Each structure stands twice: as structure tokens, then as C-alpha cells.
Amino acid sequence: MKFGIFVFPGSNCDHDCYHAVRHIMKSEARFIWHQEPDVSDCDALILPGGFSYGDYLRPGAIAKLSPAVNEIISFAGKGGLVIGICNGFQILLESGLLPGAMLRNKSLQFICKDVFLKVVDRDTPFTRNLPGDEIIKIPIAHEDGSYYADKETLDRLQGEGSIVFQYCTSDGEVSPDANPNGSQLNIAGIRNEKGNVLGMMPHPERAVEETLGGTDGRQIFQSIIEAVQ
């Protein structure tokens, strides 16, 4: 099992992801520079958080033009597992691998804190190791994390069961008070129709050790490992 972790100019969570999957989960991992995107030896790809190209124009808008994205699209088209975290999620949206867009947080401020997530869809390669309806705690760190899509897309996501995570209270209530950024339907993470591409704003790689405040993020990486092996 080998993870490929993409590095764009401005990525700053690539080493966090490497530490999570290599040192905590004990899986092989390597960095992939965005201009040399050879993924032939990888079983799963991670698009990490950060500020690709400084978030100029809008987050992910320039990164989607990178040679890496064509390889990621091809890899996903063959059924390979792809997870985009924070800025990685934004790149997946900009590239069309996932529907919708990210808007500025409703507060117009950068938000960095722990949030609670309801695991809506357990039947994915990314959540298979999580008990149904489990509430997990994962940190967020973003300024443009308010998920937006038109009504037709939202209806389709709900109809397909493609909403994977929703912001909720510690008791599992999906409510406006639990929504940190104004995302429609409290969306924190979605998958594609085939189920092999996941985008999520919260950072599971920052929740893999007790010293970081919790280990709920481990279950997401463990799910990927079990799905591949």
C-alpha cells in the first residue's frame, strides 16, 4: 500500500499528510511534485491542504491547470482512490472531479478550530472503518470553506447519497449553529458518483495522535488502507 502525496507551490499540509500515513499508519508514502506527476506506483492519492499558488484568483483555480491534475483525473477514472483535503478539496472542485464550488466563509474570517462531523455515508472506501452515524471530531483551518452548489446539484448529491460528512453538534444534530462557515446543507465532505473520490474541508491528518487532541482522523486513513488491501 503506497500513498502519493501531491505537492503544489504553496502546499503546507503535505508533510502533515506524510507523517500521518507513513509514521502513524505505517504505510508507504512519497511526495509527488505537481509538474512530474508519475503515479504508476501509487495505490491512493492525497491532495493536501495549503494555499496552492497563493490562492490567487481563487483557491485551486491555478492548480487545476497543473500537469498533476490530468494524472489525477486519469487515475480516478480508472477507479483509483483520491482524497482532497481543504485546498485539495478546492482543487477537486475546480478541476470538475467533484461538483460545486467553495465560497468565502460566511464570517469572512479565517477559521481554525475543532468541529464535529456526522458520518452520513459509511459505504465508501474512506469511511468503511467508521461505525454508522458516528460523530467524529476533526479540525478545520480555512477561509474559503463554504460549500455551494445549485439546487439541482444539491438534490443530486442527496439522491445519490454523495454527502459523506456534515457539520453537526457534539450530539449529532445537523443545525445552523453547528455550521462553521455557511456551507449549504452543512456539507463538510462529498464524494463522486463512483465513490472513489472524496473531498473534505476538515483535516484528518491533524487528528491522528492524542498529542494533537484526538485520533478520529486515523479511521479515514485506515479505511483507505483496508479498501486497497
Q: Annotated catalytic, 94? A: no
**Burial label, 171 (beta-carbon count in 10 A; 0-12, 13-18, 19+):** exposed
Residues 6+ apart with CB under 8 A from 209: 24, 215
Catalytic residue among 13, 42, 86, 168: 86
Please tell me whether residue 92 adopts helix, strand or coil conformation: helix
Exposure string over 115-153, b if 16+ CB within 10 A, otherwise e: bbbbbbbbebbbbebbeeeeebbbbbbbbbbbbebeeeb
Q: Annotated catalytic, 17? A: no
Q: Annotated catalytic, 86? A: yes
Amino acid (1-letter code) at residue 228: V
The catalytic residue positions are 86, 203, 205
